[in-house]
Structure 1
Amino acid sequence: MKRRTVQDIMTKDVVTVTEQTPFAEIAELLTEHRVSGMPVVDDAGRVIGIVTESDLLHKQEYKDHTEGRSLRALLRRNAQAEAKAAAVDAGGLMSAPVVSAAPGTSTTEAARLLNAHGYRALPVADEDGRLVGIVARRDLLGVYRRPDAEIREEIIKDVLVKKLWHDPDMLDVRVGDGIVHLSGRVETKSLVPIVARMIGRVEGVVDVVNDLGYALDDTAARKYTRI
C-alpha cells in the first residue's frame, strides 16, 4: 500500500515572517491570507518559531480587565502570556522552539503531532531545518475525500492480492462514503480480523463492516496446543 507523507499533501507556498516583522503586519498577513499561523524563519530560511492568532490575541485579552481584578494580578498568572501581550514583533510573539515535521513524515504521525500539541498547522523542514512547506489539519482530512472506487481498487490490488495473496473473487468488497463492507469467506478464522485491520489502514477508509466467514476455525486448535 502506498502511504502518503506530508510531502504529498503540504502547502509549499508558505507565508512566513521574520523576528523583526511588526505586530500590525503580522495581523494583516494572517487576515489577508486567511491562515491561523505563520512560521518565523531566520535569514537562512530555517524555522525558529511560529506565531499564531492566539499569540496576537493576548494583547487584546489584557487590554481591558474587569473591575476588581488588577492587571498586574491578571498578568502574574501567566508570564508567557504577559510577555506576548507586551510584544511588538514576531520575535516577542512567537512560540519557540517549534515542533516541525520532516517531508517524509507519515500523515498518521503528522496528525498525532498536531493533536498532541494542539496545533492547527505544522511546519515542514528539511534536515537542515529550512522550511519547505506547511501541513494543516484540513490537508490531513483530504485523504477522506478519496473516491470510493479508488479505495476499493487499492483494497483489492494492494491488500487482498499483493499482501494477502487472496483470491479477490472469494470476497465481496463494497465501499460507500468511505465505509468498507466485507463479506465472503477466508480460509481461517484467525485471518478474519487481520484482513479487516489491513483494510482499515488504507487511506480514506472511514470504517470497516466485517461480515467475513471462514472455512476453518484454527483458533480452537490453538487453545489446546502446548508449547
Structure 2
Amino acid sequence: MSELTARDVMTPDPRSVTPETDLGTVARVLAAAEAGAVAVVDARGRPVGVVSEADLMCAWGGARHRARRTWLEWQRAKQRLRSAQDRRAGDVMTSPASTVDAATPVSRVARELEQRRLRWMFVVDDGVLAGVLSYRHVAGVPARPDDDIRHDIATDVFTRILWVEPDTVGIAVEHGVVTLLGQVESRSDAELAGRLARGVPGVAEVRNRLGYVWDDTPDGTRVKSGS
C-alpha cells in the first residue's frame, strides 16, 4: 500500500502575490489566506519568498497602533504608514519560502514540520506553487506501521535487489525512522541500501550505519571497513 503524499492532503490553489504587489493588497490577501502567510511567486508561478503577518507588522512599524500619542508621535506614525504603503511584497518577504514537493510522503512532511518547527509549508509541483499545508493536514493521517516498513526494506531492498539475506543485517524501524546496522560486501552496496530504503513508503528518515568489507568506489583504497 502506497503512503499518502503532500498532494493528497494539501489545500490546493493557495492565494499568492507577486514581488510587485503593494503591501495593502498583500494584507487583504493574507487576511483571506488559510495560512498565516502568503507565497510570493514569480511570473512562472514558482515561490520566491513568503510574507507573513510578522513581516507585515514590521513593515507597518506600529503606525496603526491606536494608543494615546503626542502630536509629534502621530506625525511620525503617519509618515511610517505612508512609507509602508509605498512598499512591495518583494521588499519585505522572507526568502526562500519553506516548500515541499507534492510527491513527498506525508510522514516526511510531518517530520519536516516538527523538526523545523514550522506552522505550514507551501507545496510545489515541478517547482510551481500547487498548495499549502500545515501540521493539521498531516497529524490525523495514519502512518504506515513500522513492521510493514521493515518488511518492505528486508524484502525489496536486501533480498530482491542486493541479494543479501535480511537476517544478516539489522533493520530497526521506529516511527518511520530506519536504522540499518551490520555489514555488507561492498561500499557501493551499503550506499545503495541507504538510498533505496529512503524510497520505501512510510520512511521518514534513514540512518545508515552499514559497514562494508571492500571499498569498491573509484577512489577507494579497497581496504576493509573499520581497519
TM-score of the pair, normalised by structure 2? 0.49
Select the structure that is richer in helix. Answer: 1
TM-score of the pair, normalised by structure 1? 0.49
